[in-house]
Amino acid sequence: MAAISLDPTLTLRISKEPHQHRAVIEEIEGLIRVYKDGHVERPQIVPNVTSALAPEINLVSEDVIIDKCTNIWGRLYVPKGKTNLPLIVYFHGGGFCVGSAAWSCYHHFLAQLSARADCMILSVNYRLAPEHPLPTAYEDGFKALLWIKQQTLCGSSQWWTKNINFSRIFLAGDSAGANIAHNVAISSEPFDLTGMILIQPFFGGEKRTYSEKNNIQPPRSALTLSTADTYWRLALPSRANRDHPFCNPMADRNSLKELRIRLALVCIAENDILRDRNLEYCVSLGKKVEHVVYKGVGHAFHVLGKTQLSQVRTLEMMSHIKDFIWR
């Protein structure tokens, strides 16, 4: 069984002493430290990279501004020499609190996915909690959809708009990003979305599932029960608990009826603490969803996994995504 862990060689050291004697109220070691006065520290655990790609990758990538006022931007991945492409609007993971569309692991994964699945991808860099608690990330995701619609309505001269099939738009993301895709889909009435692709969606609840209690994670795992709880405390609105619909869509089945989506693909990792909650979500959605459980891998295997098994499962998942968006 392959455990997925953060690479300790990427971690920058954070002082163990409180900064200028301020009290630390929340911390996930190596990822985020929050002080009582509101100051937030995030070490650069994963390097940020530009949109540049190796010449042998037959893609064009560039960064675009989605909303100047809130500094929302995106990174495009466009296969060269192809038109009428499906568009995936992608949200990165990180518990709503860390991560970036510029992280090297996402840049590598999404470039590979775009090339292998023959699709255009817009990776959205949304605002992070706790400075911007939920629903800010959902609002940023909705702004990204509005921006895309604006490109079609105003006859944008942007070169990449000529490559898109605007009738085949998918929302997607992994972990917290999959949660964002789900919640943006709920509010997407002005858009005719084809489907959504949720990779290990980050949902929770006050009552623990079997996999949350029994899928023991190794040190420095990408997601443990403790880190999940911390992310939710930092991201949810004030005084909300883990049965809030942002966290636990199954707690309010009526909210799932508002999901304006034709089809969904849910990608689940067998060793993930989120496995059972992901499976419950699939049951709740019924006939409009299909799911795949990837054996022997854990949370975020597709971006943080270094083992051969993780790489094999990632290629399998890319193949499933390609089949889903081109059917």
CA-to-CA dists, residue 204 to 108, 232, 324, angstroms = 28, 8, 26
Marked catalytic residue, from 107, 244, 299, 320 = 299
CA–CA dist 293, 317 (Å, integer): 10
Marked catalytic residue, from 182, 272, 302, 310 = 272
Q: Helix or strand or coil: residue 226? A: helix
Question: How is residue 306 written in tokens?
Answer: 């270094």
- Residue 268's φ and ψ, nearest 5 degrees, are -120, 140
Marked catalytic residue, from 100, 175, 211, 310 = 175
Residue 299 a catalytic site member = yes
In total, the chain counts a number of residues equal to 327
CB atoms within 10 A of CB 175: 28
Which ranges of the chain would DSSP assign to H, the alpha helix? 104-117, 136-153, 176-186, 210-214, 225-235, 253-257, 275-285, 301-304, 308-326
Residue 226 a catalytic site member = no
Residues whose CB is less than 8 angstroms from the CB of residue 83 and which lie 6 or more positions away in sequence, other chains included: 162, 163
Would you say 59 and 115 are in contact if contact means Cβ atoms under 8 Å apart?
Answer: yes
How many helices and strands (H and E) does the chain possess? 9, 11
Q: How far apart are the first and last CA of the chain?
A: 32
Residue 252 a catalytic site member = no
Q: Which residues are catalytic?
A: 175, 272, 299
